[in-house]
Amino acid sequence: MTSSKQIKSKISKEGLLTISIEEVDIPQPNAGEVLIKVQATPINPSDLGLLVGPADVSSLEIVEEGSKIQMKVPESLIRSVSARFDQNLPVGNEGAGIVEAAGEGAEHLIGKVVGVAGGAMYSQYRCLPASSCLEMNDGTSAREAASCFVNPLTALGMVETMRMEGHTGLVHTAAASNLGQMLIKICNDEDIPLVNVVRKEEHVQLLNELGAEYVCNSTEDNFMDDLVQALVKTGATLGFDATGGGKLASQILTAMEISANKTATEYSRYGSDQFKQVYIYGGLDRSPTTLTRSFGFSWGLGGWLLTPFIGKIGHERFAQLRKKVADEIDTTFSSKYTKTISLEETLHEENIFSYTKQATGEKFLIEPNN
């Protein structure tokens, strides 16, 4: 076998998105590199940003069944993707597989299951530096290791950020996701107060069964009262919002301000002096982010991304976090998948409509060699 199938995504200057399965040569590993037969790779929201981008899914057209599809990017959004015009970009942030060959200095990984975040993982084979691979413990399957990077390290990164910035408790939205469930387990193990925000009653029950103490349903009429009460009890002043759009970030900051004022000794027209921070780290809601300024002046709202965070903590701490993920991949950092598909099935209409909804608790896994 000299060639490998790979999913690529291209947007033309006219705003036409093409997603296709291409044949690419299988490279041979050089010194310090390994050749991985990719056995499992997840579809994360961050992958959809490249795979589908801002295209209108309702405009989907099948060009070649199982190998090429097209969609239109709304005219108002074409300029936002001008940097990628006419570039046929490989997709897939992370995945796992078996090392089939290795260059000098990496031979010890041959036959091992490794997880990697090397990009272009929606491929049958990937050649990558051995240093970028996370060697899994014996007995760990590629399916278990497929999501060993984005969600586990983001959850750990939230806790690390909390400590680095001097907070003592967390608020997390879309908390019933795989990532949210990982964060609950971490916080339970380390006695960190955590307020979970969900959008469905069944998610409240799910997280309660998982051991979450504070779960607030943002669709309930008493959401703000429940959120304030949870913040009073936990003292959480740092939030991570996966939705991004709408008013949820503003509601969290407002609830934090109300909670802080319940212990204030005197009134200030500038609000409490308790600093409150919300980081947006996702875009489940694509509408504009709306702020209602009812939380004083001691607050911050910004973006949070895993890659810059890793740069901040340094190589030694990053290695420690990666080892923790490998050791707890089937417990704390286990992932659940609602559907397993092939590369070709990734381009099937019903699957595209399903995984682009980004519904909390639903996650697709691609097995490129099946």
Number of other CB atoms surrounding residue 161 within 10 Å: 19
Using DSSP bridges, classify how beta strands 339-341 and 214-217 pair: parallel, antiparallel or unpaired: unpaired
CATH superfamily entry for domain 150-308:
NAD(P)-binding Rossmann-like Domain (3.40.50.720)
Check the CA dihedral 178-182-188-194 and report its sign. Answer: negative
For residue 304, give both structure tokens: 């949070």
Euclidean distance between CA atoms 1 and 368, whole angstroms: 15
pLDDT for res 165: 98
Check the CA dihedral 63-66-72-73 and report its sign. Answer: negative
Per the document, the length of the chain is 370
Q: Is the domain defined by 3-147+335-366 classed in CATH 1.10.560.10?
A: no
pLDDT for res 359: 85
Nearest to 356 by CA among 153, 60, 14, 6: 60
For residue 177, give both structure tokens: 């996701």
Q: Provide the residue-wise pLDDT of the chain in tens; the chain has 370 residues.
A: 789 999 999 999 999 999 999 999 999 999 999 999 999 999 999 999 999 999 999 999 999 998 999 999 999 999 999 999 999 999 999 999 999 999 999 999 999 999 999 999 999 999 999 999 999 999 999 999 999 999 999 999 999 999 999 999 999 999 999 999 999 999 999 999 999 999 999 999 999 999 999 999 999 999 999 999 999 999 999 999 999 999 999 999 999 999 999 887 788 888 999 999 999 999 989 899 999 999 999 999 999 999 999 999 999 999 999 999 999 999 999 999 999 999 999 999 999 999 999 888 889 999 999 9
pLDDT for res 47: 96
Euclidean distance between CA atoms 215 and 207, whole angstroms: 7
Spell out the domain ranges in the chain.
Answer: 3-147+335-366, 150-308
